[in-house]
Amino acid sequence: MYYKITEDDRIWAVRYNGEEDNELYKLFDNWNDVSFLRSFFIKHKDDLLKNFKVSNVDDAIQDTLDDASELQAVILDFDEVADLDSFFQPLSDGSPDYYLERSKGKGEKRKGHASWLRIYALKIKENSYLITGGAIKLTHQMREAEHTMKELNKLYSVRESLYKEEGIVDGDGFEEYIKDK
């Protein structure tokens, strides 16, 4: 099932079977939940230290809360003329999918590291996206961690369910389809 996030039909979010809410709602609920964040960073403390040089769990929680607030403001500010294609970035692993993060240059008063928050999306057509999930990405590649790998699988399965009937089987075909639309 799909939830409309912006009234202009340009941003949507998936709600998976068995889940209490859509992915965007769930992401921000988790990213504002101190208890959830603490458990997450304790579990991933090795990646946190290795890739971001952050050793204090409370610092990681605070940075996440601050970045979630910035990212939330970015989405709330989207209006019908916003150039969404300039906000959503293509994933670097060669798949035809996209992600949204806190705008570069915003929230830079916090020193130390780039934001690790990611919202993953499929491009429906020019300037239109369907959010399939998101993650706290602490590794260079999504395939390096179980929870980001799960997000890749979600992107893949939603893409497959939506585009299979269109006869699109790979990334190149998907890009062609988007351009046609």
Q: What amino acid occupies position 14?
A: V
CB of 92 to another protein, least distance (A): 24
Backbone phi and psi for residue 7, each to the nearest 5 degrees, phi listed first: -65, -20
Nearer CB in complex with another protein: 38/113: 38
Q: Report which secondary-structure segment, H or E, holds 125.
A: strand 117-125
* Token pair in block for residue 179: 């351009």
CB of 67 to another protein, least distance (A): 13
CB of 118 to another protein, least distance (A): 17
Q: How many beta carbons lie within 10 A of that of residue 138, not counting itself?
A: 23
Nearer CB in complex with another protein: 15/147: 15
113 burial type by CB count under 10 A (0-12 exposed, 13-18 middle, 19+ buried): middle
Nearer CB in complex with another protein: 128/145: 128
CA-closest candidate to residue 144, choices 27, 68, 44, 67: 44
- C-alpha torsion angle, residues 69, 147, 150, 128 (rounded to 10): 20
Nearer CB in complex with another protein: 25/52: 25
Distance separating alpha carbons of residues 167 and 61, to the nearest angstrom: 44
Nearer CB in complex with another protein: 58/80: 58
CB of 34 to another protein, least distance (A): 4
CB of 177 to another protein, least distance (A): 8
Interface residues with another protein (CB under 8 A) are 1-5, 9, 12-13, 15, 21-22, 24-25, 28-29, 32-36, 38, 58, 61-62, 65, 69, 72-73, 75-76, 109, 124-125, 128, 130, 162-163, 165-166, 181
